[in-house]
Structure 1
Amino acid sequence: MIAFNATLGRLSRRAAFCAATLAGASAPALADGSLQAKYALSVAGIEVGRATLIVQATDTTFEIAGTGKVSGILRAVSSGKGTAAARGTMEGGKPTPTVFAVNTEADGKVEAVRIGFAGTAVKELEVDPEPKPLPDRIEMTDAHKANVIDPMSGAFVAVPGTGSLLSAAACTKAIPIFDGRQRYDVTLTFLRMEDVKADKGYAGPAVVCRVGYVPVAGHRPTRSTVKYMQANKEMFVWLVPIAGTRLMAPFKVSIATMIGTAVLEATSFETSVREKAVPVSTPKR
């Protein structure tokens, strides 16, 4: 969630499950879950960016694609746009990425990251431009690139078990993120349930989590922005279910910044499930 909101912030200056019937017998089937969402980003109540998000998830695979661009009054003084995508497999109901890529362009400056995964470890990495080797930057080692997930896949929280998705279980975890330049943990702590409503699509309960940022490597601990985010107690995410899956998606993100509260909120949030009958195989005689 932090990474998704942070990507849009830079632009501003810069997802099933079984259920159907076999002929002649009761048995599980496959269900695809999908999400199409649009978001608006504001800072101190002023719109500065817009984004779109598309998610497709089955019981074995997932694909996520997003775009963002500067909008509102900020277009008069800055330009920016970006794309991000991730795809991979569903392992134990959780997204496990195989590839992640992000490309941004802001005021003539282009940045790109591509990460290839093998399991939960980084096997391929391309970063342009590469981070500068500064004395106060915490060194990134191979150990920091193991047991991680990319920031886009990490924004979708998998709730284990068979109980309700809309419960505190959505918020009790730390998510190990590697974004190509930094390794950090995003922590989620349950706060409350709250109703949300998009202009189009979803209207209903959301799980509200407090978000924490724990830098691990690749960051510069002396920077004021790192210190601020590390100490920030005013970061929250509202999570709602993606139909047909056990994935929770961000409906809203709110982060206090040095220039006002940044809010990323869905204006359209349409999620659906498509069931697919499993063909019956007739035994040979």
Structure 2
Amino acid sequence: MMIGGHGARAPLPTLRAVLASLALLAAVAPASAQGKLDARYEVTLAGIPVGKGAWVVDIADDQYSASASGATAGLLKAFASGSGTGGSQGRVVNGALQPVAYSATVNSSKKAETIRIQLSAGNIKEYAIEPEPPVDPDRIPLTDAHRRGVVDPMTGSLLRVPGSADPVGPEACRAGGAVFDGRMRYELKLDYKRMEHVRADRGYAGPAVVCAVYFTPVAGYIPDRAAIKWLAAQRHIEAWFAPIAGTRILVPFRMMIPTPLGMGVLEATQFVSTATPPRVAKTQ
């Protein structure tokens, strides 16, 4: 699995849309408490395995980190092999997650590409794509305003639920925000759909809140791209969220994205989370 649309490359635009959509989640809000998650995922298209990935999240009292890796698998690997890694780090300030750095690297049979982003208080300080891509006149230009008030794709995959009630409920889906992935600025919105019960092969078994996910591209994209048009038109994308123990943070347990080739599904096969005891100040 790769967060933020920089995962293993696929030979079809619709499949790239499935993999890219793993990050179509709400922008993060204030966090609380401490915990860790070690998850493994499988991606299928029309029931056929096409990818596998791992995701590790660590929420501490004053900082957080998340890292992901993924690769093509099964039938897809026979046509186009690829792999990717990514990571995000930041601070926890007054309970809020503030990303500081994000990077993602994609390796395929044709090329390798790395994206790096530096942030401060929700604004992009600098970013780069290596090697630098050619200028495309059809791409909607990015302005300074588009690079303010955003989070990176991986931080944007962490959903915080305010209040003191059980975080796994309808309130979780009352969210939305802005994400910048190094190329594109897009807006996301969640709406509550229903509750489900999930069970990983290893780890979590319990309730998951299901949210509808709506994607709106803003800038930095090419309007005629089939994947962008498809994602923006979708009204049946679902994200199933489960909790990181010890926190009010939810992360995707499952995602379902309709495509012309069948249903694209990302699902956790392992979802092991543990609460981390708070640090105790030393006394003399």
Task: Give CA deviations for 1:82-108 in whole Å, capped at 9, x if unaligned.
Answer: 100001012343321100000001123
Distance in 1 (alpha carbons) for counterparts of 2:193 and 2:176:
15
Distance in 1 (alpha carbons) for counterparts of 2:82 and 2:170:
37
Does the 8 Å contact 2:4/2:181 carry over to 1? no
Cα RMSD, aligned residues only: 2.0
Choose the corresponding residue for 2:81, options 79, 82, 102. 79
AA matched with 1:7: H
Distance in 2 (alpha carbons) for counterparts of 1:88 and 1:252:
25
AA matched with 1:180: G
Unaligned runs of 5+ in 1: 18-30
Distance in 1 (alpha carbons) for counterparts of 2:94 and 2:166:
17
2:54 aligned counterpart, secondary structure: strand
1:36 aligned counterpart, secondary structure: strand
1:151 aligned counterpart, secondary structure: coil
1:24 counterpart residue number = none
Pair 1:217-2:215 in alignment: no
What's the CA shift for 1:124?
1.5
1:239 counterpart residue number = 241
Distance in 2 (alpha carbons) for counterparts of 1:91 and 1:277:
16
**Which one has the largest radius of gyration?**
1
Task: Give CA deviations for 1:144-165 in whole Å, capped at 9, x if unaligned.
Answer: 0000000111001011222220
1:118 counterpart residue number = 120
2:197 aligned counterpart, secondary structure: strand
AA matched with 1:11: R
Task: Give CA deviations for 1:52-103 in whole Å, capped at 9, x if unaligned.
Answer: 0111101221100110011112222221011000010123433211000000
Structure-to-structure mapping, 1:148-167, within 5 angstroms: 148-167=150-169
Structure-to-structure mapping, 1:4-153, within 5 angstroms: 4=3, 6-8=5-7, 10-13=8-11, 17=32, 32-153=34-155
Task: Give CA deviations for 1:163-215 in whole Å, capped at 9, x if unaligned.
Answer: 22012111111121100000001211110111011000000000100001100
Distance in 1 (alpha carbons) for counterparts of 2:279 and 2:144:
44
2:276 aligned counterpart, secondary structure: strand
Unaligned runs of 5+ in 2: 17-27
What's the CA shift for 1:5?
7.0
AA matched with 1:169: E
Distance in 1 (alpha carbons) for counterparts of 2:71 and 2:103:
17
Question: TM-score, normalised on structure 1?
Answer: 0.88
Relative to structure 2, which stretch is displaced further, 265-274 or 130-139? 130-139
Distance in 2 (alpha carbons) for counterparts of 1:147 and 1:179:
13
What's the CA shift for 1:232?
0.6
Q: Percent identity?
A: 39
Distance in 2 (alpha carbons) for counterparts of 1:107 and 1:206:
37
> By percentage of residues, which structure has more strand?
1
What's the CA shift for 1:280?
5.4
Question: TM-score, normalised on structure 2?
Answer: 0.88
AA matched with 1:211: V
Distance in 1 (alpha carbons) for counterparts of 2:6 and 2:281:
43
What's the CA shift for 1:130?
3.5
Distance in 2 (alpha carbons) for counterparts of 1:178 and 1:276:
32
1:20 counterpart residue number = none
Does the 8 Å contact 1:113/1:180 carry over to 2? yes
2:177 counterpart residue number = 175
